[in-house]
Amino acid sequence: MTERETEERKKMQRLVEERNDRLNGGRLWRIVDLVINLVAIFVFVFAIRATVLEPVRVDGESMLDTLQNNDYLFVEKVTYAFSSPQAGDIVICYYPDEYYEVSNKAYRTRVKRVVAVAGDTVETKDGVLYVNGEPVSEPYLSASRSKTERISTPVTVGEGEVYVLGDNRVNSNDSRNSMVGPIPLERIVGKAHFVLLPFSHWRTV
């Protein structure tokens, strides 16, 4: 091999090495870019979940027939940043810490319906729910689950609280329980608007 051919070969090797270095550098930056994008997506999803929407699974039958066990809801958190819950709203809330400690229940959210707000007086007569002395029309209740018991003594809801019940009145642990009582507004996570899954149950609530 002549000296010139040797030089040409060395030159080609240098060009190949430089190209490989550029490719390796480009691959590294593509990986870095992918990681940055994945982190950004994760942060965005976490922020949305924390402040706007959160998926919640219904566990139990306390909201039959409105909600079924294992229904998945999207809970919206913006409304109650600007206004208070209203009677009829379905809310996601935490019970008082004492309830979880004494009952040894898992610390998790509950799905209930607001039936009375601050200043309202709640009671039952012959299984019918009364608020401020007037019987409450509750078209969302099924005939077999409409009887409301255990509020024979009138209860007045305090400022910054709401009174919640399950739609399945005969099988719901709610504000009628002395360890639960009216729910402070700061323990309400958000408002349920519709059932997302299963698709056969998709509907607004």
Residues with a known catalytic role: 62, 112
Confirm if 167 and 63 have CB atoms less than 8 A apart.
yes
Tokens coding 38: 């994945």
* Exposure string over 120-150, b if 16+ CB within 10 A, otherwise e: bebbbeeeebbbeeeebebeebeeebbebee
* Exposure string over 65-79, b if 16+ CB within 10 A, otherwise e: ebbeeebebbbbbee
Tell me the Ramachandran region of residue 133: left when phi exceeds 0, alpha when psi lies from -120 to 50, beta otherwise: left
Q: Which residue, among 179, 29, 201, has the nearest Cα to 97 in the 3D structure?
A: 179
- Residues 113 and 56: their CA atoms lie apart, in Å, by 15
**What DSSP letter does each residue of 3-57 carry, written as one string?**
HHHHHHHHHHHHHHHHHHHHHHHHHHHHHHHHHHHHHHHHHHHHHHHHHTEEEEE
